[in-house]
């Protein structure tokens, strides 16, 4: 009986790792890689200096804007993913609150995305 429980636990933990792998990769790309790439490309294209303001512009656009906007769409469309995979909540009563959180993330993401074109 203990062997069965151990095997089931290993299968479950493997599934969680596989399910969260895409999430972790996407967060890393949007938070670290994309802002750095945009920062360097804009430096070479526009001959601007490598400043904190330039990096901050790309960080806000990518790590805040894109990430929150995409997360918000995912939460509105599928609140079950956020509940089960991120917060480890199995109760479906939390879905309306997570859907509202998704709309808030979409709004914050839009503000950050618009700031790329209207920095003032």
- Rounded Cα–Cα distance for residues 46 and 41 (Å): 8
- Rounded Cα–Cα distance for residues 116 and 39 (Å): 12
Q: Does residue 72 contact residue 106 with C-beta atoms inside 8 Å?
A: yes
In a domain, 102, yes or no: yes
| Biggest CA-to-CA distance, the chain | 67
pTM for this model (two decimals): 0.76
In a domain, 34, yes or no: yes
In a domain, 119, yes or no: no
- The 10 Å CB-count burial string (b at 16+, else e) for 55-72 is bebbbbbbbbbbbbbbbb
In a domain, 62, yes or no: yes
In a domain, 120, yes or no: no
Query: What's the total number of domains in the chain?
Result: 1
Domain that includes residue 82, residue range: 2-114
Using the predicted structure, report yes or no on whether residue 1 has a pLDDT greater than 70: no
Using the predicted structure, report yes or no on whether residue 65 has a pLDDT greater than 90: yes
């Amino acid at each position: 009986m203990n062997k069965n429980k151990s095997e089931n636990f290993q299968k479950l933990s493997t599934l969680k790792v596989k399910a969260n792998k895409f999430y972790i990769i996407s967060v890393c790309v949007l938070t670290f890689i994309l802002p750095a790439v945009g920062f360097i490309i804009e430096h070479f294209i526009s001959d601007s200096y490598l400043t904190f303001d330039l990096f901050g512009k790309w960080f806000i656009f990518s790590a805040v804007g894109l990430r929150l906007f995409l997360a918000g769409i995912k939460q509105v469309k599928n609140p079950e993913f956020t509940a089960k995979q991120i917060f480890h909540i199995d109760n479906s009563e939390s879905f309306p609150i997570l859907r509202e959180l998704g709309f808030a993330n979409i709004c914050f993401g839009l503000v950050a995305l618009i700031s790329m074109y209207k920095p003032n």
